[in-house]
Amino acid sequence: MQANFYRPFWQHVLHPGWRAGLFLVLFWSIPRFWLVLWANQTGSYQYVSLLFLSMWIAPFVLLSREGRKAIGIRRSRNYGWLFAGLIAGIVYCALMFGLSRQVYGLTESNWLFYISGTYSNLPAEMDANARLAFFLIFAGIGMTFSPIGEELFYRGLIHENFKFSFGQSTASLLDSLAFSVVHLAHFGLVYSAGSWKFLFAPALLWVAALFGLCLLFSWFRQRSGSILGAILAHAGFNVGMNYFIFYHIL
């Protein structure tokens, strides 16, 4: 499998293992971090969406058929775990929102409160129908671009590269670390009142919570036998995030 993981075109530059995993993490994560910070400042997120789309495409460009199967692009062995992953993602988001509200209230130190401020082109006042419409739009986007792109990339492509070198458990820890740290661009390093600042304690809790969330995604990938288990758990989390933003914050 190791020799056939990448397409022949890439095999002279990419070899399955931690070096390729680290290279790919940095290749995507550095521009992603900068683009998210820029988007938080300007309110323009189209380039972030394109980057998620590139994560979506990457396994199909880089990997052989055997490689794509290795990262979990296959039918699930147990469809019940797919539904369970979706529900688990929603529940985890509820726990994160409850924790952040209990500790920080509805302030910029609350991760969902800060993220809600990055939602652009929303009316100042929304009736029930408008709120539902915007929730469905944002939830629909949140269930597609980032869950599919990030899970194919982190729980798929990156995970398998680290797995070749370190085994399943360590690979899960490393892909979770890569995912959670890059999300400091979404919250932790915040843009407020025309300047940047780093919220150390809230950022630490945010990264720790996301690290645990990623391990949950990995678990559902393993239990379902498909990357779709991780994708649906991630989609559930994003649906929950948008629910709390539109119905408990905005």
107: which 2 tokens? 């302030």
**pLDDT recorded at residue 74:** 96
Q: By residue range, what is the domain housing residue 56?
A: 2-249
For residue 63, list its beta bridge partners.
6
Q: Given this model, what pLDDT does residue 147 score?
A: 96
**pTM score, whole prediction:** 0.95
Q: Are 103 and 240 in contact (CB under 8 A)?
A: no
- Residue 209 has a CB neighbour count (10 Å cut-off) of 19
User: How many domains does the chain fold into?
Assistant: 1
The low-confidence residues of the chain, meaning pLDDT below 50, are: none
pLDDT of the residue at 193: 84
Nearest to 169 by CA among 218, 120, 133, 123: 218
Question: How far is the C-alpha of 139 from the C-alpha of 183, rounded, in Å?
Answer: 19
Model confidence over 16-73: pLDDT tens digits?
999 999 999 999 999 999 999 999 988 788 888 899 999 999 999 999 999 999 999 9
